Amino acid sequence: MRVLLVGINYAPDLIGVAKYNTELCESLSAGGHEVRVITAPPYYPAWKTPPGFSNSYFRSRHIDGVRVTRTPIYVPGHPSGAKRLIHHASFALSSAVPVLIDALSWRPDVMVAVAPSLMSAAFVSLVARRVGAKSWLHVQDFEVDAAFDLGLLRNYSLRKWMLRAEAAILKSFDHVSTISEAMLLRLVIKGLAPNKALEVRNWIDTSAICPDSRMTKYRRKLKLGEGDIVALYSGTMSNKQALNLVIEAAIGLEQGHPHIHFILAGEGPHKLKLEQMAAGHSNIHFLGLQPNESFNELMATADFHLIPQKAEAADLVLPSKLGAIFASARPVIAMAEEGTGLAAEVTGAGIVIPPGDSSALEVAICQLSEAPALRQHYGDEGRKRALDRWDRRTIVRRWAEVMAGESNSTENEESGSAGANDNVALPVEDAVRAP
């Protein structure tokens, strides 16, 4: 099978959508498929492109069995709503020619677009139809909803126009997948036919992320002992995460609970502001983005993890970090409204509290800090869920099987013959969703 993936994020970026695009393509390549990627230079989450990439634009190189072509994009230093639109538009424009060239000269069996960015996805669908390839859109984030619900964009007329464009793009693909049941339902609400909507959740390598000792190099570096409790946030530091609530909770607990420490690890446009808020408080610690080889040790440092969230972000995305938290056998405190996908995932393996409530966060932190048996129970349940629902090998293998089945069905249609894989796509949710 020949697979052409078009997505704005790819390695060497370490977190977010880049991680899953990269692991999908490398897994497909390792499985014997030919894979090409058209992507942008690395820039996330620091919103800064490393020097040296401008010399390699439009040049292809092989990375771990995958042919990767990078195109230039506009990267704003301080990404506002309008600047993000320009950012995504620049990738849609710069990637169009390489997409067309690869589609016409290489003739892929499946063309996969990843949202974000939805702008570039529209052209992928159009070209796939022209060359007879199956088109697949994978939605990691409802970027239109997020932009307006989080206040990055505010014009009502613009929202109506963008939602109409989004609906048209969704309907133009043969298959549209997303990462949670709640997001799957949102696709159907947006008008996508249920037989086109599939769940392909983000995965975790459960052999690489596994239970380990909490006494790590990070505790030694920060001079934290066995009796200290660590609440950890790891990931992007941007507007959507509402990390100011973690800082507020940490400040509120500093005097009465000096043994509780907060570690915020990662990068993002709000990091400087958060560091300024935390200045002078010895129970708040910041780390940079950690390399892959240290990620399991970072996760093990925590007694429990934090997923703060604004109410407006509910079910716009299922945080990908949840799988790693579960795999590390640590409990989680997550901000989510009851009935949302995140709340359903966390219940029984952590504590769910209302979004935007720093007081509720303080209470939950105290509750877990004082209950080691409860932490153990939640951690064990989380590990079980990671193995059952989030395992990388299971999810990627089944996704590849569905893609290959669709590719074979296209060949059968063109030849007018029936094949053994004609019905592969019918039970597609069971085939893709981890058991």
Q: pLDDT at position 428, please?
A: 35
Separation of alpha carbons 322 and 250, rounded Å: 22
> pTM above the 0.85 mark?
no
Give the chain's residues under pLDDT 50. 414-435
pLDDT tens digit string along 86-99? 999 999 999 999 99
Q: pLDDT at position 98, please?
A: 97
pLDDT tens digit string along 351-396? 999 998 899 999 999 999 999 999 999 999 999 999 988 988 889 8
Separation of alpha carbons 191 and 171, rounded Å: 8
In order of start, what are the domains of the chain with their CATH numbers? Answer: 2-203+391-432 (3.40.50.2000), 217-389 (3.40.50.2000)
Q: pLDDT at position 170, please?
A: 94
